[in-house]
Amino acid sequence: MIPELGLFSLVLAGSLSLFAAVIGLSGTRNVLLQRSVVSMTMGQFALALLSFSALVWSFATDDFSVAYVANNSNSLMPWYYKVSATWGGHEGSFLLWILIMSGWMLTLTLRGHQYPTSFFTKVLGIMALLNLGFICFSLFTSNPFIRLIPMTPLDGADLNPLLQDFGLIVHPPLLYMGYVGLAVPFAFAVAGLLEGQVDSAWARWSRTWTNMAWAFLTAGITLGSWWAYYELGWGGWWFWDPVENASFMPWLAATALVHSLSVTEKRGTFKSWTLLLAITGFSFSLLGAFIVRSGVLTSVHSFAVDPERGMYILIFLALVVGGSLTLYALRAGQNSRQVAYNFLSREFFMLINNLILIVSLAVVLWGTMAPIGYEAITGGRISIGTPFFNKFFVPLGLLLAIALAILPLLNWKRTKVEALRPAAISLLIAAVFAVFIWFVLDPTSVVVASAVGLGAWVVLSHSVDLFKRLRKGTTLPMAYIGMTLAHLGFSVCIIGIAITATQSEESDVRMAPQDSVMLAKQRVTFLGVVDAQGPNYSAQQGVFLVEPESAGSYELRAEKRRYFAGNNVMTEAGIQAGLLADTYVSLGEPLTDGAWAIRLHYKPLVRWVWLGALLMALGGFVAIFDRRYSSLRVRQSKTTAKAQTKVHGESQGETQRATTPVPAQT
């Protein structure tokens, strides 16, 4: 009964989104109809929540008559994994996607009074149209509520053991918040094009949402990387795997968008480019969904064998991209405005930043799609591995750091070279010093030295700017604090990447009980293997004693688990986490005479990679609370951004917007 209720709610949510889309995009001026779109948006969320809860309920109560539950759960699993198993497979994760989409729409309605009504109704209409597409995809190709009656299995097939982890509880929801959140700037872009309003006010509206989606995406990717690190027993934190790339591509586009939007808001320029990025960002979200869910990764053939889901997403993607780009081609040019700026200006460096990010995006896209394209064309198979990506991302990352370090010293429009010189020289000296320090430690790698030096330079240049502002005594806007945090996060991240990628020690060894090996000045002793029992698995636990030179010794336990239901074997690494370095032990396979194959890692600064990325995400969240965004009321757009006047009181602003069409911009 409960699963049917869930299905019914989903169908109802779909119908509501259909109505909301039609009314929202009809351009109606009828206030009652406009309000009904808002109500339907709320109703949609309530129904999506009901539907999702029904599925969670089915998992929590072990209702194995539901096929999706039977395939992804087991009665022995602890309750928290049963609940999170709801999004452990394709169908349920897509229902989560729909719930999050509806959640974003609900959040939009909470701030709807800040925007002109006709514009906002269109935004909701576009979001509803997208959500309709998602709900139809779920209903027609990936229904999670299908029953197995009368062939109900006694117990479920179990969730993939890799997913029975804290990571599954937090990573997908956060990642989806980011993926789906990019639909909001997309909807703002399309509504802006439809309404003919793409100006500074529009950019300010869009920024809040873009920052939020970007911050969620950043946090989601970071958690995924951290999860892979401890869960795969491999010690790596980024694999350039197509599934990872699928989330990295929208991130790159969104990062470019966040920066381009700031130029559009502050200077009223880069408009067409910003619109294009907003469309690109969400399109890559959908492309990611296609890559992950269509089976095209497994093989072009397996996609051809079961093309239903893949074709649906592909057609949806084509409609979204084709429709929005057509609109873009027709309308975007109308908003263009020539704003002069120098080479030595913030605008120009933002342009460089965007160029670097877009080239990075092209690299990831190529590296991900080339093997698929090659197989489709020739039938042969190739793989493109880490060296390809590293060859591009090392120089691109360093270039980005250079642009970033100069950025806070630059003014909009133009900067006098003299104003830049003293600061730049002092920063360069600091960077040279950092490089020198590093050369003392490790004279082999110039790349590492420059990464650390540039990272330090970014930190210094931002600190100089921060102190300059603090001395003036002005209160710092939240947006500025957020930006500084994110940029510091970036430098922490690249320093972490450079050090951990080159200074880690790794060894695979054969160890019998009581054998010792040296790992980065620590003595690691293998004490032996004991048996351990989990709720739904049995494990062999390798016990290790680690004795560092100076501080006290500690014990590490690494497990080899065998899950009862699927008879899957899984490795659970033993990790001593530290801000400066991780010590990482994982069990390979048992060898003769009680010996085991054992993998040992010493990874300096590996935590900095995630710490830096989380700082970036934090910066994005902090920036949302800038007063510029919250105290905002409807602004009227005139022919130039300068002529904008603040209209106080929403009702007045709304009627004005409703009655006066936006003048065509010259």
Partner 1 sequence: MNPKRKQRLYITVFLLVVCAGVTGLLILVSGENMNMFYPPADVVAGKIPEDQKVRAGGMVLEGSVKRSDSSLAVDFQLTDHQGAIFAVAYSGILPDLFREGQGILVEGKMDAQGVFQAEEVLAKHDENYMPPELLDMDMQAQPQSYKAAPSIDPRAAKGNSL
b or e along 105-139 (b: 16 or more beta carbons within 10 Å of the residue's beta carbon)? bbebbeebebbbbbbbbbbbbbbbbbbbbbbebbb
Closest CA to 111 of 617, 626, 631: 631
Under 8 Å between Cβ of 456 and 491: yes
Contact 595/512 with Cβ under 8 angstroms? yes
Query: How far from chain centre, in Å, is Cα 575?
Result: 26
Choose, by CB under 8 A, the member of 30, 152, 299, 652 that binds partner 1. 299
Of the two residues 273 and 480, which places its CB atom closer to partner 1 in the complex?
273
Binding segment for partner 1 among 127-135, 253-261, 298-306, 617-625 (CB under 8 A)? 298-306
The closest alpha carbon to 35, from 47, 18, 23, 49, belongs to 23
Single out the residue of 309, 346, 607, 635 in contact with partner 1 (rule: CB under 8 A): 309
Footprint (CB under 8 A) of partner 1, residues 347-366: 355, 359, 362-363, 366
Residue 308 makes contact with partner 1 by CB under 8 A: no
Q: Please, what is the minimum distance in Å from the beta carbon of residue 19 to partner 1?
A: 29
| Footprint on residues 209-238 left by partner 1 (CB under 8 A) | 224, 227-228, 231-234, 236
For residue 370, state whether it binds partner 1 (rule: CB under 8 A): yes
Q: What strands, in cross-sheet order, belong to the sheet with 505-511? A: 505-511, 596-604, 581-590, 574-576
- Rounded to whole angstroms, how far apart are CA atoms 16 and 8? 12
Q: For residues 4 and 58, give the distance between their C-alpha atoms in angstroms, rounded to a whole number.
A: 11
**Binding string, 373-402, against partner 1, x = CB under 8 A?**
-------xxxxxxxxx--xx----------
240 binds partner 1 (CB under 8 A): yes
- How far CA 129 is from CA of 38, 187, 316, 317, in Å, comes to 14, 10, 11, 13
| Interface map 310-339 toward partner 1 (x if CB under 8 A) | ----------------------------x-
Segment contacting partner 1 by CB under 8 A, of 46-54, 421-429, 568-576, 648-656? 568-576
Nearer to partner 1, 535 or 566 (CB): 566
Phi, psi of 537 (to 5 degrees): -155, 160
Q: Is 241 in the site for partner 1 (CB under 8 A)?
A: yes
CA separation for the pair 402, 353 (Å, rounded): 10
Report in angstroms how near the CB of residue 576 gets to partner 1 at its nearest.
Answer: 20
Question: Which span sits near partner 1 by CB under 8 A: 48-56, 90-98, 117-125, 631-639?
Answer: 90-98
What is the distance between the alpha carbons of residues 438 and 567, in angstroms, rounded to a whole number? Answer: 49
Please say which residue, 379 or 473, places its beta carbon nearer to partner 1.
379
Using the rule CB under 8 A, is 15 a contact of partner 1?
no
- Is residue 666 within the footprint of partner 1 (CB under 8 A)? no
Q: Closest approach of Cβ 294 to partner 1, in Å?
A: 8
Footprint of partner 1 on 479-518 (CB under 8 A): 508-510
- Which residues in 394-453 contact partner 1 (CB under 8 A)? none
Whether the CB-CB separation of 525 and 536 falls below 8 Å is answered with: no
570 binds partner 1 (CB under 8 A): yes
Query: What are the φ/ψ torsions at residue 645 (nearest 5 degrees)?
Result: -120, 150
Vertex 163: Cα angle to 70 and 58 (nearest 5) = 35
Q: How many other C-beta atoms are found inside a 10 Å radius of the C-beta of residue 162?
A: 17
Among 4, 442, 555, 589, binds partner 1 (CB under 8 A): 589
Residues 276-295 that bind partner 1 (CB under 8 A): 292-295
- Residue 596 has phi, psi (to 5 degrees) of -130, 150
- Say which amino acid occupies 13: A
Residue among 5, 313, 10, 295 nearest 147 (CA): 5
Closest approach, Cβ 161 to partner 1, in A, equals 8
CB of residue 598 to partner 1, shortest distance in Å: 8
Measured from the CB atom, the residue of 125 and 588 that comes closer to partner 1 is 588
Footprint on residues 591-610 left by partner 1 (CB under 8 A): 591-592, 597-599
Among 194-202, 279-287, 589-597, 645-653, the segment contacting partner 1 (CB under 8 A): 589-597
The β-bridge partners of 525 are 516, 545
Residue 368 binds partner 1 (CB under 8 A): no
Residues 184-203 that bind partner 1 (CB under 8 A): none
The residue type found at 432 is V
| Short-list 288, 213, 318, 322, CA closest to 257 | 213
Residue 178 binds partner 1 (CB under 8 A):
no
Per CB under 8 A, contacts with partner 1 among 93-112 are: 93-94
Give the CA radius of gyration of the chain: 27
* Piece in contact with partner 1 (CB under 8 A), picked from 56-64, 305-313, 483-491, 548-556: 305-313
Q: If you search the block for the tokens 């869009």, which residue do you land on?
A: 206
Compute the least distance from the CB of residue 401 to partner 1, in Å.
19
Residue choice 129, 249, 297, 565 for contact with partner 1 (CB under 8 A): 297
